[in-house]
Structure 1
Amino acid sequence: MKIYLNRYLSALLVLLIVSCTDLEEEPVGVLSPNGFFQTPSDVEAAIFGAYGRMASEPYYGRKLTLTLQLLSDMCDIGDRGTPARRQEVNDFTAESNNGMVSEFWPRSYEIISAANNAIAGADLLDASVISEERRNELKAEASFIRAFTYYHLVQLFSAIPYIDYVVNDPSSVVDLEKTSEDDVYANIIADLEFAQQYLPMQHPNNVRTRPSKGTAYTMLASVYLTRGDWQQAYDHAKWVIDNAGELNYALVPDFQTLFVATEEDGLPEHIFALDFLGLQNGGGGENDDIMGAITGIRGADQNGWSVSVPSLAVYNNWDSRDYRKKVSIEDSTMVGGILTPYTEYQQVQRPHIAKFARFPGNANTEGRYSDHNYVCFRYAEVLLIAAEALNEISGPTAEAVGYINQIRARARNWAGTMTSFPEDVVAGVSKDGFRDLVLEERKLELAFEFKRWYDIKRRQLGTEAFTSPASLEPHANFDPGKHYLLPLPQDELDRNPNLAPQNPGY
């Protein structure tokens, strides 16, 4: 992916990027699709421009991903000197003026605008310069990007403005009304069905930072799981499993490999990832990956910020025989040449998240501007989706149990040495027990990868997760009538009263 982004990052300067926040401003680089799109490369420029906005600080580089971490019961604020906007998200006290929400909302619509322009541009190309197969493939890639972006928005906000066309006149969308959650999901599914039809099985050079047919099937499985459509979730996950050989998907043998930046390109477990380019920074926060710094250790020889750290109960309750705990959490580090436990860290005496800070590749001393490919979907999640959905359909069948045992078998490989933990799931577990087991397996396997909050929301686990005696991160103020959604940004409501009403409770 690096070769594509390096070549086309400058395309951002000429894209029609219109965010809902800036609808009263002149959009950046206003350019009619009729005047810009002349060749397939021009359409690719728009697509790569969308990726550039996704791999940016207001989106996957910090604002969106940090929000998802802090909303979950897996993470807590480490350094309480961090800005209030982060603490508000973590503590369920965020209101409509929260500075985290007000940044990834407009960036989302910039990504969507780029995707809309790419789709329109592909349709404008003359048949003399592009085959129908290539035209549909480019439209499918842009459709996937649009669906991916709306999928995050609808899960976080419910009803939202839905734009699937080129905006040449910003004034035409200043008074947009919200589209219902059901209709947004229907549009997401339609985009992904188009994508699964026309995307290739693989990209040249084993690139995983562009979607393939398997990516579309995987995301459809995730969407249907979120919607509680167990049969469709299972069917789409099963298609990926059955075609894993042709798609070149597999669990990597060593769990640590997934989080070593220099080894992430083309990993067979990656189904779709966003690529950050080490030690490079574009305008508007492009390529500014801050999650390594946000989760890294502050003080002494370490240069992180200790903002998002594991909830202490997560660390204490996670069995130390599980290699995934060792990979996911840093509980000791070298300080002045001495191995120092977290209880003796200089500033924040807490275990820290290791997945993004331990092996960042090319990065500055804070772990910022890393070389990570931030994985959005990986093959282990497909197995987890299939197991969860099949259990809801048929109970804990041998097939469903087998998917969990594949994941556990990989976890027993401790850096090349086989161990006996975690043990395989054995027959006899109940349907309810297996459901709980799968959700726990998701929590450990996908720890700190921005998935847990969505699991809490779709399964309505907030009361159990935040207010019960078993809570990993207690928040007595958690209100299930309010906090499963974020507030719509106040500046958006001020510009466009048609976005009212505000989400319940705000």
Structure 2
Amino acid sequence: MKKIYKNIFYKALIISTVLTVSSCKKFVELGAPPTQILFEDAFKTDASAQSVVLGLYSFSSQAANGLLTSLNFYSGVSSDDLQYNSSDALYQEFANNSISSTNGAANTIWGTTYQLIKNANNAISGITASASLTPSVKSQLLGEAKFMRAFAYFYLVNLYGDVPLPLKDDYSAFENAVLPRSSTADVYTQIIRDLTDAQTALPTAYVGTFRGRVNKYAVSALLARVYLYQKDYANAEAQATQVIGSAVYTLPSPDVAFVNTSNEIIWQIGNTTGFSVFGSAYITAATVIPAFSLADVTYQSFESPTDLRRTNWTVTKTIGGKAYYGITKYKLATAGNEYNIALRFAEQYLIRAEARAQQNNLSGAKTDVDMVRSRAGLVGVSALLTQTQMLTAIEQERKVEFFGEWGHRWLDLKRTNRANAVLGALKPATWKTTSALWPIPQAQIIINSALTQNPGYN
């Protein structure tokens, strides 16, 4: 019996044309349908296996209901980062932190992310089992697939807490589909294991152009973030130092930081259009209210009107007597030279600054945070800051550095236990302590009775 690509995992809402697989008993072998291929054939040659792995990248960048949309906009409006200016009821629930377990967007986010994990699991299984791939290619592709799986799990565990942890390919699809939730600690253990494996497998040099496929330093960058979130500050500092010390990346001026040739880019997700999901959502005509703008409280938190991030990455437009703060990190809403930047160099300085501050290396923390401030045209922080003051200063730098990007602010408030204080004061009518985790979609609980709901959503 042959194994053919066909989706049967979690009843996810997006159908992949690259990685689909199932198995069933047949009396007659008919081969693969014209639009599908046999699982074994997908990993026989370097070219075919590479196509599978490249599919992981394209899957994560779908504009409509893809990971970029989900992880950025829904997370952004959940915090004090993005202001939602339209009337879509699904977005309003996220903006009010009163998400229904039947929210269709929440179900799509879950399904889309697990679809990426499913595809990564299939790739890891097929590549590992293949005896015909060139060793260097096999190592490269395996590292990329493990990175993508870790990337997906990182966001799942931060958005939902405990989540199912399927690691097998679709030969075990029915077993995967009824897994209970694994602990946050176990999910993070797997994330670190995957990233450590990927770090060993991948070269320092980029494959291809525009840094669209991850290399060893991209893995280190994500691993530094993971260790920071886990409060493993020594390892967070060490991983960030690998990236900073590589001499591969720099901090260009803010006005060119987001073009696809920027030397700040550690990893970006390419597209065929030349404009990003972010730019197309944030940029509107002068008289058109953007669906998403920078939250007023965040815009007003810039310490100086001459901060180059404010002058280069925002634009004020007044419509109907109200000021809206448009986000202009990406300059293009139509074809040009911008992709979707997922990891950039400034984060590594702020990760290391925070890790050093937590270890009471305040002078080292100052050096790092001042690198980011200098690029923004600001003077350095005071050398007299206490540890608490330094951590507060770093939080502020992260707030005005990463606004509108990948839900950084939402995740920062939660991991530092600041969400209740900040969002409780900002949204007193709707914020609850249980709002820090999104609900497990009711549609998934119906499919998988082993799933339990997060507190506050029953």
Q: Is the 8 A contact 1:298 1:348 kept in 2?
A: no
Equivalences for residues 307-456 of structure 1 within 5 A: 307-318=291-302, 319-331=304-316, 342-343=317-318, 345=319, 349-356=323-330, 358-362=331-335, 372-397=338-363, 399-412=364-377, 422-450=378-406, 451-456=408-413
**2:26 aligned partner:** none
> Secondary structure of the residue that 1:62 maps to in structure 2?
helix
| Identity level (%) | 25
Q: Is the 8 A contact 1:493 1:499 kept in 2?
A: yes
Q: Is the 8 A contact 1:157 1:488 kept in 2?
A: yes
**1:504 aligned partner:** 455
- 2:242 and 2:16 mapped to 1: Cα distance? 45
Q: CA RMSD in A?
A: 2.4
**1:6 aligned partner:** none
Q: Is the 8 A contact 2:243 2:348 kept in 1?
A: yes
Structure 1 residues 296 and 99: alpha-carbon distance in aligned structure 2, compared to 1, 3 A threshold: farther
Give 1:197 deviation, angstroms.
Answer: 0.8
**1:242 aligned partner:** 245
- Say which of 1, 4, 10 aligns to 1:20: 10
> Secondary structure of the residue that 1:320 maps to in structure 2?
coil
Structure 1 residues 354 and 479: alpha-carbon distance in aligned structure 2, compared to 1, 3 A threshold: same
**2:446 aligned partner:** 494
Q: Is the 8 A contact 1:78 1:348 kept in 2?
A: no
Q: Is the 8 A contact 1:69 1:75 kept in 2?
A: yes
Q: Is the 8 A contact 1:72 1:452 kept in 2?
A: yes
**1:181 aligned partner:** 184
Q: Is the 8 A contact 1:384 1:438 kept in 2?
A: yes
- 1:347 and 1:359 mapped to 2: Cα distance? 26
Cα deviation 1:73-126 (Å, max 9, x = unaligned): 1222223xx210001001111111112211121111111122112212212322
Structure 1 residues 396 and 169: alpha-carbon distance in aligned structure 2, compared to 1, 3 A threshold: closer
- Amino acid of the residue matched to residue 296 of structure 1? I
TM-score (norm 1): 0.80
Structure 1 residues 391 and 229: alpha-carbon distance in aligned structure 2, compared to 1, 3 A threshold: same
- Amino acid of the residue matched to residue 307 of structure 1? A
Give 1:226 deviation, angstroms.
Answer: 0.6
- 1:406 and 1:291 mapped to 2: Cα distance? 26
Q: In terms of mean alpha carbon deviation, does 233-242 or 180-189 score higher?
A: 233-242
> Secondary structure of the residue that 1:351 maps to in structure 2?
strand
**2:437 aligned partner:** 485
- 1:313 and 1:176 mapped to 2: Cα distance? 41
Structure 1 residues 291 and 100: alpha-carbon distance in aligned structure 2, compared to 1, 3 A threshold: farther
- 2:312 and 2:5 mapped to 1: Cα distance? 40
- Amino acid of the residue matched to residue 97 of structure 1? T
Structure 1 unmatched runs, 5+: 1-13, 280-286, 332-341, 364-370, 413-421
**1:366 aligned partner:** none
Give 1:388 deviation, angstroms.
Answer: 0.3
Structure 1 residues 346 and 294: alpha-carbon distance in aligned structure 2, compared to 1, 3 A threshold: farther
Q: Is the 8 A contact 1:361 1:372 kept in 2?
A: no
Cα deviation 1:220-240 (Å, max 9, x = unaligned): 110011111111111111122
Cα deviation 1:136-156 (Å, max 9, x = unaligned): 221111000000011010100
**1:75 aligned partner:** 82
- Amino acid of the residue matched to residue 432 of structure 1? T
Q: In terms of mean alpha carbon deviation, does 218-227 or 115-124 score higher?
A: 115-124
- Say which of 134, 138, 157 aligns to 1:130: 134
Give 1:207 deviation, angstroms.
Answer: 3.6
Cα deviation 1:125-170 (Å, max 9, x = unaligned): 224x412x33222111100000001101010011111111211364
- 1:216 and 1:445 mapped to 2: Cα distance? 21
Q: Is the 8 A contact 1:140 1:198 kept in 2?
A: yes
- 1:458 and 1:116 mapped to 2: Cα distance? 28
Q: Is the 8 A contact 1:21 1:491 kept in 2?
A: no
Give 1:178 deviation, angstroms.
Answer: 1.4
Q: Is the 8 A contact 1:158 1:181 kept in 2?
A: yes
Structure 2 unmatched runs, 5+: 22-36
Aligned residues: 434
Cα deviation 1:261-302 (Å, max 9, x = unaligned): xx313x2211111122217xxxxxxx9x643343233674x5
- Amino acid of the residue matched to residue 96 of structure 1? S
Q: Is the 8 A contact 2:12 2:114 kept in 1?
A: no
Q: Is the 8 A contact 1:257 1:264 kept in 2?
A: no
